[in-house]
Amino acid sequence: MNNHSYEVHIMETNEFIDEEIVYDLADLFKVFSDSTRIRILVALFDGELCVGEIAQRLEMSQTAISHQLRVLKQNHLIRYRRDGKNMIYSLADNHVKTIINCATEHVEE
C-alpha cells in the first residue's frame, strides 16, 4: 500500500475515484481477506497487547500470530513499540476499528 493521506469524502455516483486510490483500496481489502488478521485487529480493539497475549486470546501459535502481525504492520493497520524484550501492538488509528465495524454492520444486514 502506498503511504498517501487521502481526504475523506463521499463519492457521488457519477464521480470517478483516482486509479491509484482504487489500487490502494484493493490492497487494503486484501489485508482484510484473512480471518486471522481480522481476529487480531478485533483483539486490539481493547488496547495494547503483546504477541503472547494475542496468541493466547486467539488460541494460536506465536509464530502464526507474528506472521500476520508483519502483514498488518506492512499495511499500516497496526503500530508497535518495544517494552523491554517485548513488542507491544495496537491499532494504528480509529479508522481500522471503523472499517471493521462498518463491515460487520454490512454482513449482519
Length of the chain in residues, anyone?
109
Tell me the per-residue pLDDT of 77-86, one tens digit each, with 9 for 90 and over: 999 999 999 9
Whole-angstrom CA distances from 27 to 37, 71, 74, 89 are 14, 11, 11, 22
Tens of pLDDT along 5-22? 444 454 555 577 888 999
Q: What is the pLDDT of residues 26-75, one digit of tens each?
A: 999 999 999 999 999 999 999 999 999 999 999 999 999 999 999 999 99
CATH number for the domain harbouring residue 89: 1.10.10.10
pLDDT at position 17 is 82
- Domain-located, residue 45: yes
Query: Between 30 and 2, where is the model more confident?
Result: 30
Domain count of the fold of the chain = 1
Q: What is the pLDDT of residue 13?
A: 57
Residue 100 belongs to what domain range? Answer: 19-108
